[in-house]
């Protein structure tokens, strides 16, 4: 029922993120006790797994702040490019 209600709500108004977790409060397997809130928050706040999503999140977070990123002793441009906050181009201001 909660998932159905969520679908109805998102049809009415778009959301930026959807976070879902099974808290296992009524789980019958004693090997899987109810979820620890700290573990749930860890899962919600953890970085995405794939590189492209991590790059996008990193750049999105840095676009709102003045930041100095020092990338020392790089082996190649390929190693550095994903770590540049400005979408792969150095800021030349």
Residue 52, CA distances (Å) to 47, 59, 82, 87, 91 in order: 11, 11, 8, 11, 21
pLDDT tens sequence across 79-89: 999 998 875 45
The string of pLDDT tens digits covering residues 11-43 is: 777 766 767 888 888 877 888 888 899 988 888
């Amino acid at each position: 029922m909660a998932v159905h209600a969520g679908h109805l709500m998102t049809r009415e108004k778009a959301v930026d993120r959807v976070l879902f977790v099974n808290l296992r409060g009524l789980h019958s397997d004693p090997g899987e006790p109810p979820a620890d809130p700290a573990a749930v928050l860890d899962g919600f706040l953890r970085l995405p797994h794939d590189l492209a999503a991590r790059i996008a999140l990193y750049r999105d977070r840095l676009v709102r702040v003045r930041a100095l990123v020092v990338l020392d002793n790089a082996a190649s441009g390929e190693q550095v490019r994903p770590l540049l906050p400005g979408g792969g181009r150095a800021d030349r201001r």
